[in-house]
Chain A
Amino acid sequence: MKARYWVCLFIIGCLAPFLIYPVFVMQLLCFALFACSFNLLLGYTGLLSFGHAAFFGSAAYLAGYLMTVAGLTPELAILAGTVCAGLLGYLFGTLAIKRQGIYFAMITLALAQIVYFIALKADFTGGEDGLQDIPRGKLFGLINLETTYRIGHKSLELNLYFFIFILFCLAFWLIHRTIHSPFGQVLKGIRENEQRAVSLGYRVERFKLLAFVISASLTGTAGAMKALVLQLASLTDVSWHTSGEVILMTLLGGLGTVLGPSVGAITVVTLQEKLSAAGSWVTVIIGAIFVVCVLAFRRGFVGELGRLLKKSL
């Protein structure tokens, strides 16, 4: 994509909180980052993890706990969440890459379930209630993220928004660089033909593990950001539903495209927001989109658009 498109997207990102409820935009950014990190694994390496909620949720819990109990500043809490998710990713990755394809998906799902049970039973997670009213604190101990600015009739959390937005841009840029680096090319090679990558002398397992750890870490960043934005870390964040949703976001937006996961995340989160009154019918609708997507729309929005424009988006 050309530089001017990126500039356009950046400007839209800067204007968004003045047009739409900022907390909602931040929520979109968190899930978009979640889906982008996930795409690094599924879209570019061809590994389907069914346990990414474990990274998202554990980082959310840890960041929330550190901010509430230890009084850590937000940037340190997010860093801690990222590192924690990365370590967990290393653990999961080491075990799961021993098996391939479908087994990989089942193993990650089962491992994530251990994390779910720990979150359910441990003391510091607040059990069924989760961690609520997580304080947003002061960035670097200086900038108060609670501050709201009155513009017209609305009061906007602009400090928090621009912190989250800049963090998202950095993480997105990192993913983008990873994909287009020689390392990313090897990942794509593994996705296309693993045997061939092996015979070319690449130590495929190491590449897969590193991709898994990067993906898990950035998922952790997204989870910790979410805890800061919504001031909540709950069991939903670690449940298999969340693991399923991030797959749907990535698939719906377009596997292996740069913009797809963000588009998918925006679609799914907006849909959930609009349909929240419908109760459990949301699950039915999400399931139905899944089915339609897998049957007839495997390239996703951005993938289809890219095919029409004959461009890689």
Chain B
Amino acid sequence: MEISMMAILSQLMLGLNNGVFYALLSLGLAVIFGLLNIVNFAHGALYMLGAFAALLGYSELGPLLGKPDFHINYWAALILVPLLVGAVGILIEKTMLKRLYRFDHLYGLLLTFGISLILQGVFTNYFNVAGTPYDAKPPILEGVANLGFMMFPRYRLWAIAISLVVCFATWYVIERTKLGSYLRAGTENPELVKAFGINVPLMITLTYGYGVALAAFAGVVAAPIYSVSPVMGSEIIITVFAVVVIGGMGSIMGAIVTGLLLGMVEGVTKVVYPPASNTVIFFIMVIVLLIKPAGLFGREQQ
């Protein structure tokens, strides 16, 4: 079987493009898991909410306010939507998740599962499952760029670049700053950190808000690429769970690197053996579980 180098390279780039979304989402999951010890099942739904917020801000908000010319453009959405959805996250944490810390961590997973069903159900009721295109791509990101070895859509390049910047900025803040050191200490021993006079409950709330904002950010960046659909979140979240199992949730860098790599593996599979492209990540998960059960970057559990 002859497979051209070009095809592989172009699928690598497209795979990297998917990979940055895996990275953003698994990073958010890892940050939340570190401090709250829950797996946020609603992550996919909040990613979907981010994409819809961008879409509606552009096309529906103006008419709703009686000013048909009023649009939230892409750049504004990139900032506003994560803030808005992050606030929704804070609300969820303050009103619901907070009550569950005393109980088994599985209840957190079940609660967020319920929330994701609610969000998905509401949007399915008003929007087409097949998806609505978001066509407010800024003019500067239209068209294709010549990478030397291939032509690649400018917007996708931007999506890769900005997502990588956000991922590594998050890594920097958590691993290299004082604020991040509080966070890491809180992950290790919240009681002790509390004893030092640090407001741990506030830190937990803000961490959850930030993780959720990351998901919403991914949603906005993804909106012009994929069509915005009520099921986009549930489709991606299960793959992201597999990514998280492969990488282990113990490390921030692990979450980012695993996400990027698996996106590319998925891309290459599309060329080499297309029928497996949907499942290759799950099969890799099986192999990793057999060889290194704690995950590539995970610490062995006690």
Residues of chain A at the chain B interface (Cβ within 8 Å): 48, 95, 98-103, 105-107, 109-111, 113-114, 117-118, 121, 240, 244, 247, 251, 279-291, 293-295, 298
Contact = CB atoms under 8 A, between A and B. Distances in A.
Contacts of A283: 117-118, 120-121, 124
Interface string B91-112: 0000010011001011101110
In the A-B complex, the 8 residue pairs with the closest CB atoms: A290-B114, A287-B117, A283-B121, A284-B121, A287-B118, A98-B293, A280-B124, A291-B114
A101 B105 CA distance: 8
Nearest to B248: A103
Interface stretch (B12-20, B53-61, B66-74, B275-283): B275-283
Decide if the interface of chain B is mainly helix, strand, loop or mixed.
Answer: helix
Interface in B110-147: 110-111, 113-122, 124-125
B174 interface: no
A101 B106 contact: yes
A298 B107 contact: yes
Interface in B278-302: 278-279, 282-283, 285-286, 289-290, 293-294, 301
A22 B275 CA distance: 42
A204 B118 CA distance: 37
**Interface of A (DSSP majority class):** helix
B222 interface: no
Contacts of B286: 95, 111
Contacts of A100: 301
B241 interface: yes
A110 B282 contact: yes
B200 interface: no
B238 A290 contact: no
26 contacts: A48-B106, A95-B286, A99-B294, A105-B39, A106-B39, A106-B241, A107-B245, A107-B289, A109-B241, A110-B282, A113-B238, A113-B279, A114-B279, A117-B279, A240-B234, A244-B113, A244-B117, A284-B122, A284-B125, A285-B121, A286-B117, A289-B114, A291-B111, A291-B114, A294-B111, A298-B103
Given A110-B242, A287-B116, A294-B100, A105 B106 contact: yes
Interface residues of B, number: 44
B243 to A, nearest CB: 9
B244 interface: yes
Contact of A284 (B111, B113, B118): B118
A295 B99 contact: yes
B282 A114 contact: yes
Q: Which of A101, A102, A105, A113 has the most CB of B within 10 A?
A: A102
Nearest to A240: B238
A111 B279 CA distance: 10
Given A114-B282, A287-B117, A294-B107, A98 B289 contact: yes
Nearest to A280: B124
A287 B282 contact: no
Given A105-B39, A240-B234, A283-B124, 6 more contacts: A99-B293, A110-B238, A117-B279, A287-B120, A288-B114, A294-B111
Contacts of A285: 121
A291 B238 contact: no
Contacts of B109: 48, 102, 105
Q: Which of A98, A121, A247, A283 has the most CB of B within 10 A?
A: A283
Given A110-B238, A280-B124, A251 B278 contact: no
Nearest to B33: A102
Contacts of B96: 291, 295
Contacts of A293: 114
Nearest to A92: B286
Contact of B121 (A109, A111, A287): A287
Nearest to A98: B293
A291 B115 contact: yes
A99 B300 CA distance: 10
Given A102-B105, A111-B282, A280-B125, A287 B289 contact: no
Contacts of B278: 117
A268 to B, nearest CB: 13
Contact of B114 (A281, A287, A298): A287
Contacts of B107: 294, 298
